């Protein structure tokens, strides 16, 4: 890779790290944030949940980079998020907080698929998994920054101090991005798709079967994981009676598993194959969904199983990104935006289905594991049979 590409990757990573900090800082501090506004903690939880659902609208923004260029769109998202954080620093108001959190979500769903498409443009497919895996490390590392910094600032100052910190972090990342990121190479006129609105963009995706199957895989993967994720805490409470201890330990386990899963992609996926890495991760996770309910006799065994699930899921998600970036190379940002939307759809559907299953099965975790495992196996079969290796570019 050239020095200019390496500089671009560094700036993209730094900017995404800053963006992810905005998404992860509220989680450990919903109670003090709610107290700062005089609202119950569940109100802050609802805001976080609704802002996460913004990913459903990601396909609406997929055409922006086709019109204005990927660097321009990513820089614009960073500037908007910097302005949002400044707004939060200036006005300590609950309504402003809601607006700012939603603005952060919109910025992320614009930036993420655009940077994935950018890497697809500048990095050869044979090395793309390594680079995308490095970029995805910013998600795990952002929690390392967000939790201690936000906790310290809330302890010595107020929520405004967090937004001042975010303003500086995002503003700095925007300047570094502007200075270091090279524009993506211009497409030849014959390779350029004239996509003018979200409806035409979705027609491009729906008309290409590998793209549709890729999105089906994403929905099934995410839904299976969410069905398990939304219920495992209740299962651990019923099985071990160690709610705080167990869930606190699981948080550490999940963070470690995310990093390991991303390192698996960085070190192995390009050599082993992105499709095979994705299939292996998905199949291991699906089998573990079926096995975990039978481990209620041992907390260490259950923790180890959860650890392996999150490694496998993270490896499957991240190794699928370079594969999907090659499915519609003439409209990469459109495809990756649709994939973000599919992830959000899977989360919403899986969360709702997981709650319904828990209620009507009277908390039967064996049945929950069966449904999650079944969806995981379906995702594996879709990837195995219907998504071609290295993508399938339309002629």
Interatomic CA distance for residues 274 and 383, integer angstroms: 11
The mean pLDDT value for 156-178 works out to 95
Between helix 243-264 and helix 274-291 the angle, nearest 10°, is: 160
Above 70 in pLDDT, residue 191? no
- Looking at the chain, the whole-number percentage of residues with pLDDT higher than 70 is 92
pLDDT greater than 80 at residue 185: no
DSSP state of 123: S
Would the pLDDT of 164 be above 60?
A: yes
**Is the per-residue pLDDT at 312 higher than 80?**
yes
Long-range contacts formed by 202-208: CB under 8 A, 24+ apart: 202/59, 202/338, 204/328, 204/331, 204/334, 205/328, 205/331, 205/334, 205/335, 205/338, 208/327, 208/328, 208/392, 208/394
Q: Is the pLDDT of residue 194 over 70?
A: no
Give CA 186 to chain center in angstroms.
28
Structural contact between residues 388 and 323, judged by C-beta atoms closer than 8 angstroms: no
> Which pLDDT belongs to residue 186?
65
Instruction: Examine the pLDDT at 336 and tell me if it is beyond 50.
Output: yes
Nearest to 261 by CA among 323, 221, 317: 317
- Kindly list the distances between the CA atom of residue 324 and the CA atoms of 29, 190, 208, 233, 384, in Å, as whole numbers in the listed order: 35, 22, 12, 32, 14
pLDDT of residue 223: 94
CA dihedral (117, 49, 370, 234) in degrees, to 10, reads: 140
CB burial class (10 A; 0-12, 13-18, 19+) of residue 151? middle
324 or 57, greater pLDDT: 324
Q: Can you read off the two tokens belonging to residue 47? A: 């805001």
State both tokens at 208: 């290409």
Over range 67-94, report the average pLDDT.
94
Query: pLDDT value at position 181?
Result: 94
Q: Write the pLDDT tens digit of every residue in 355-384.
A: 889 888 988 999 999 999 999 999 999 999
Q: Do the beta carbons of residue 210 and residue 320 sit within 8 Å?
A: no
Indicate whether 134 pLDDT > 60.
yes
| pLDDT score of 40 more than 70 | yes
The pTM for the full model equals: 0.86
Domains of the chain: 7-180 (1.20.1250.20), 201-386 (1.20.1250.20)
Q: pLDDT higher for 118 or 2? A: 118
Using alpha carbons, list the distances in angstroms from residue 139 to 148, 251, 314. Answer: 15, 14, 11
Residue 137 has pLDDT above 50, yes or no: yes
Choice among 42-56, 164-178, 286-300 with the minimum mean pLDDT: 42-56
Residue 54: is its pLDDT beyond 60?
A: yes
Q: Two tokens at 65?
A: 């980079």
Residues 58/344, Cβ–Cβ less than 8 Å: yes
- Which parts of the chain fold into alpha helices (H)? 3-24, 30-37, 41-52, 64-68, 70-90, 94-122, 125-156, 159-180, 198-206, 209-229, 232-240, 243-264, 270-272, 274-291, 299-324, 332-360, 365-386
DSSP per-residue codes, 206-254 = HTSHHHHHHHHHHHHHHHHHHHHHTTHHHHHHHHHS-HHHHHHHHHHHH
Average per-residue pLDDT for the chain: 88
Per-residue pLDDT reduced to its tens digit, 238-291: 887 765 555 556 666 777 888 999 999 999 999 999 999 999 999 999 999 999
pLDDT at 249: 60
Give the whole-angstrom CA distance, residue 79 versus residue 34. 27
C-alpha to C-alpha distance for 217 and 379, rounded to whole angstroms: 5
CA-CA distance, 267 to 277, in Å (whole number)? 11
Buried b (16+ CB within 10 A) or exposed e, 354-367: beebbeeeeeebee
The number of residues making up the chain comes to 395
pLDDT of residue 187: 59
What pLDDT sits at residue 394?
39
C-beta of residue 321 within 8 angstroms of C-beta of residue 275:
no
Of 136-140, 205-209, 311-315, the poorest mean pLDDT is in 136-140
Question: Mean of the pLDDT values across residues 188-207?
Answer: 65
Pair 138, 16: CB distance under 8 Å:
yes
**Which of these ranges, 9-18, 166-175, 192-201, has the smallest mean pLDDT?**
192-201
Q: What was the pLDDT predicted at 392?
A: 44
**What's the pLDDT at 250?**
65
């Amino acid at each position: 890779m050239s020095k200019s590409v390496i500089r671009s990757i560094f700036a993209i990573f730094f900017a995404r790290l800053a963006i992810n900090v905005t998404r992860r800082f509220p989680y450990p501090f919903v109670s003090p944030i709610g107290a700062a506004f005089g609202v119950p903690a569940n109100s802050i939880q609802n805001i976080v949940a609704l802002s996460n659902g913004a990913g459903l609208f990601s396909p609406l923004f997929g055409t922006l980079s086709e019109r204005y260029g990927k660097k321009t769109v990513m820089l614009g998202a960073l500037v908007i998020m910097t302005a949002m954080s400044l707004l939060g620093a200036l006005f300590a108001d609950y309504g402003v907080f809601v607006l700012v959190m939603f603005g952060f979500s919109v910025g992320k769903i614009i930036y993420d698929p655009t940077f994935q498409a950018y890497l697809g443009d500048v990095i050869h497919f044979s090395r793309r998994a390594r680079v995308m895996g490095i970029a995805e490390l910013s998600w795990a590392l952002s929690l390392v920054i967000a939790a201690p910094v936000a906790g310290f600032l809330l302890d010595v100052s107020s929520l405004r101090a967090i937004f001042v910190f975010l303003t500086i972090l995002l503003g700095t990342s925007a300047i570094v991005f502007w200075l270091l990121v090279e524009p993506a190479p211009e497409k030849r006129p014959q390779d350029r798709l004239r996509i003018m609105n979200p409806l035409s963009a979705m027609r491009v995706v729906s008309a290409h079967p590998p793209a549709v199957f890729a999105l089906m895989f994403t929905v099934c993967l995410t839904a299976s994981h969410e069905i398990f994720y939304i219920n495992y805490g209740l299962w651990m409470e019923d099985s071990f009676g160690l709610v705080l201890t167990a869930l606190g330990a699981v948080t550490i386990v999940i963070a470690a598993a995310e990093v390991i899963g991303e390192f698996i992609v960085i070190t192995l996926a390009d050599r082993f194959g992105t499709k095979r890495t994705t299939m292996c991760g998905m199949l291991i996770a699906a089998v573990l969904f079926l096995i975990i309910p039978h481990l209620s006799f041992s907390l260490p065994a259950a923790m180890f199983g959860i650890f392996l699930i999150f490694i496998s899921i993270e490896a499957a998600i991240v190794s699928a990104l370079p594969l999907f970036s090659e499915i519609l190379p003439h409209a990469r940002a459109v495809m990756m935006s649709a994939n973000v939307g599919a992830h959000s759809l899977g989360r919403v559907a899986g969360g709702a289905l997981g709650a319904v299953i828990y209620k009507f099965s009277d908390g039967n975790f064996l049945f929950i594991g069966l449904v999650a495992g079944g969806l995981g196996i379906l995702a594996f079969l879709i990837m195995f049979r219907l998504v071609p290796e290295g993508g399938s570019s339309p002629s």
